[in-house]
């Protein structure tokens, strides 16, 4: 699928914890990913640019990240970057969740992973990682400790089930496959497409899953972000050209634009929650501003910053925040997130999304086997209240 020239000419952007570290986010959460970023494709821009100070040593690069005050800065060793570009990652298969001030809990365990083989289960508390208390570790440090070495290296973790005893475990990292897109059909003609992260090829998987559907629920809950080019290409599945987002780098205004020819007729509902972040927020905000989809769920995470990767002389990659992006209507989700059109408010979000989809489709017995839900008129009103695509006020490069 061709990508607009302005996207091809743009930098390769990462919108995720540490820019490329796909921390599997849940409500106010983060952790080790289900999958990881692959190499940017030619349609997404060039590989990481050479840094002006490319003679920085790894130690100096790490020091720069630590001293920058940049929450999303990251340093990736050549091996870590090679793992990412290969479409696989070395890890133990843990996603973790931590509410503000609360314990660090295991949110998900990748089937067949070292963590799964060790008997770690969702809901258990992650007490320490390599001897350091999990609650005292910042985001990037926790991810780095879990994924801090190649396959075959080890990491020590202590876990606890409820009030039971602490289990001391040594996990051996293994190469794990990415798992970004899952598709199911909750009703005839209805596709629920869950996208966990935006890695290379995700947009084409979404396009294939959407084809021929009479309605789509695009599930971005827990999506930690990823490659901006893939998020833009995913927007292109449902938009016929036009802006997806804009950002500024060193005072220069740039636009990210959808390719023409997307399916603008199929009813579309997007599921979001507190774990929807970065590139996923960019996509959700674009579809909302363009009145193309109804957002259902809860407020998104609120990360709207842009990182630029730069390759150092030894092949490692340094990523620093260079700006913030805005949705087509000029909103910045940074710190505030994207609000859903239809809050779940205690109702099962997926069931609610199917009700809203029934209303948008105008079907009598719909995906839930019941008449269209009362939520649909409110959702349609929310769409009408948003500015039309022609009032976005964005300018080209």
The residues, any chain, with a CB within 8 Å of residue 196's CB and separated by 6 or more, are: 24, 34, 35, 179, 180, 181, 182, 222, 223, 224
Is residue 372 within 8 A of residue 358, CB to CB? The reply is: yes
- How far apart, in whole angstroms, are the C-alpha atoms of residue 293 and residue 331? 17
Is residue 296 within 8 A of residue 269, CB to CB? The reply is: yes
The CA distances from residue 255 to 31, 194, 248, 277, in Å, are 31, 26, 9, 20
The residues, any chain, with a CB within 8 Å of residue 225's CB and separated by 6 or more, are: 14, 15, 16, 22, 197, 198, 231, 277, 278, 279, 280, 281, 303
What secondary structure letter does DSSP report for 198?
A: B
DSSP reduced 3-state for 285: helix
The CA distances from residue 304 to 17, 87, 280, 338, in Å, are 11, 25, 10, 10
Catalytic residues: 278, 289, 303
The CA distances from residue 331 to 230, 286, 324, in Å, are 21, 10, 10
How many CB atoms are located within 10 Å of the residue 163 CB?
Answer: 5
Going 313 to 317 to 320 to 325, the CA torsion angle's sign is: positive
List, as own/partner pairs, every contact residues 359-365 make where C-beta atoms lie below 8 angstroms and the sequence separation is at least 24, other chains included: 360/215, 360/267, 360/268, 360/269, 360/294, 361/214, 361/215, 361/267
The CA distances from residue 14 to 115, 303, 306, in Å, are 27, 12, 6
Torsion of CA 242, 258, 196, 130, to 10 degrees: -100
Is residue 154 within 8 A of residue 173, CB to CB? The reply is: yes
């Amino acid at each position: 699928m061709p990508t607009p020239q302005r996207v091809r000419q743009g930098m390769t952007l990462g919108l995720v914890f540490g820019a490329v570290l796909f921390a599997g986010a849940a409500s106010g959460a983060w952790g080790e990913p289900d999958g990881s970023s692959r190499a940017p494709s030619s349609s997404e821009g060039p590989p990481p640019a050479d840094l002006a100070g490319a003679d920085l040593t790894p130690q100096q690069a790490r020091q720069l990240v630590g001293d920058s005050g940049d929450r999303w800065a990251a340093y990736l060793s050549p091996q870590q970057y090679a793992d990412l570009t290969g479409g696989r990652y070395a890890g133990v298969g843990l996603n973790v969740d931590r509410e503000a001030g609360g314990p660090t809990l295991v949110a998900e365990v990748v089937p067949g992973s070292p963590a799964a083989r060790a008997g770690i289960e969702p809901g258990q508390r992650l007490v320490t990682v390599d001897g350091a208390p999990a609650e005292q570790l910042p985001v990037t440090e926790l991810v780095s400790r879990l994924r801090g070495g190649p396959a075959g290296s080890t990491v020590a973790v202590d876990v606890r089930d409820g009030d039971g005893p602490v289990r001391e475990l040594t996990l051996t990292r293994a190469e794990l496959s990415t798992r970004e897109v899952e598709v199911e059909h909750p009703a005839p003609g209805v596709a629920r497409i869950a996208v966990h992260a935006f890695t290379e090829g995700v947009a084409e998987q979404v396009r294939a899953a959407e084809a021929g559907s009479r309605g789509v629920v695009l599930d971005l809950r827990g999506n930690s972000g990823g490659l901006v080019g893939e998020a833009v290409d995913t927007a292109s599945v449902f938009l016929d050209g036009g802006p997806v987002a804009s950002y500024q780098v060193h005072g220069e205004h740039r636009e990210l634009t959808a390719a023409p020819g997307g399916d603008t007729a199929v009813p579309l509902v997007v599921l979001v929650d507190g774990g929807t972040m970065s590139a996923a927020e960019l996509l959700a905000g674009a579809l909302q501003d363009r009145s193309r989809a109804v957002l259902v769920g809860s407020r998104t995470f609120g990360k709207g910053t842009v990182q630029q990767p730069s390759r150092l002389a030894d092949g490692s990659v340094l990523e620093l925040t260079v700006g913030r992006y805005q949705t087509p209507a000029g909103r910045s989700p940074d710190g505030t997130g994207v609000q859903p059109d239809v809050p779940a408010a205690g109702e099962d979000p997926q069931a609610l999304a199917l009700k809203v989809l029934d209303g948008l489709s105008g079907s009598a017995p719909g995906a839930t086997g019941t008449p269209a839900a009362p939520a649909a008129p409110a959702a349609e009103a929310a769409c009408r209240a948003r500015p039309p695509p022609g009032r976005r006020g964005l300018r080209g490069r």
